Amino acid sequence: MTSIHSVGIVGARGHTGAELIALIAGHRHLQLAFVSSRELAGQPVADHVGAYRGALCYERLDHEAVAAKRADAVVLALPNGKSGELVAAIDAAAPQTLIVDLSADHRFDSSWYYGLPELTRARYRGERRIANPGCYATAMQLAIAPLLEELAGPPQCFGVSGYSGAGTTPSDRNDPDKLRDNLMPYALVDHVHEREVSRQLGVPVEFMPHVAPHFRGITMTVNLWLREAMTRDAVRARYLERYAGEPLLRVVDEAPWVSAIAHRHEVEIGGFAVAPGGRRVVVVATLDNLLKGAATQALQNLNQALGLDEFEGIVR
């Protein structure tokens, strides 16, 4: 009989935290141990996440209190730059705790496993510190990886995200009034996800992010120059072969629409437009930034590290 593993979430007020609570609530082998949020402290979790039926309330926990909970796993859903002291507290008091960090704080730390399972699961060696990839970075890597060895130059990636990707702290990029009838470019060079993908794939990547008026979902249009010409059929076959047997990767013929991916765990990759001459290919990937771009991927990583089926609680 598979045991029940306790999981705590720190930073549970945000959109991703709510998605994680819902996923864990529906998981046969995971149980929420605590949910930490300064803003919602004292309020019942069930009042904010309809999928959760338990009695837990949000708590305001300092770093030592989180470590003292001694949950089997802790998921950090904090803004970038906020996880270091908390990880240090857990390292000191409960080093056996599994930590999955959703921020960018440990994606560049080689002592942490980088958990994009479809590309990195074969490299997992039992690490208890897992860096969850960025949402844009997940879309870029999955769109580029099947043709990585054929590239003649840096991939150019035009990304458009729903405004949930900007988090819950008010800003221009999550203000529906400012986004209405608008497309908002930002951080057009040296975005953290550009550096993340360049590091992981080992090639320079050029990334131009934008925010659109829809709430959730990413469209990533990737321009790839190849060393040798390929036909559209050969390109599509390369993706089908690379992602065969991956339940969360769907290779489709036409360019996928972001409206079709909301609230779904999968990534869709398609389009496969080949310019005359066969050396320029454009591929489109879509995913839900709150799910496969964050919470779903965190659950894949939790499952793998806890010895469960990677897709438990995701694929039914």
Residues known to be catalytic: 135
Please say whether the beta carbons of 99 and 87 come within 8 A. Answer: yes
Give dist(CA 75, CA 6) in Å, integer. Answer: 11
Burial label for 305, CB within 10 Å (0-12, 13-18, 19+), is buried
Report the amino acid identity of residue 165: G
Q: What are phi and psi of 147, to 5 degrees?
A: -110, 15
- Name the E strands within 83-229: 98-101, 113-114, 129-131, 156-161, 184-185, 206-211, 218-225
d(CA 197, CA 139): 10
Question: 7 in helix, strand or coil?
Answer: strand
SS3 call for 255: coil
Task: State which amino acid sits at residue 230.
Answer: M
User: How far is 111 from 129, CA to CA, in rounded Å?
Assistant: 8
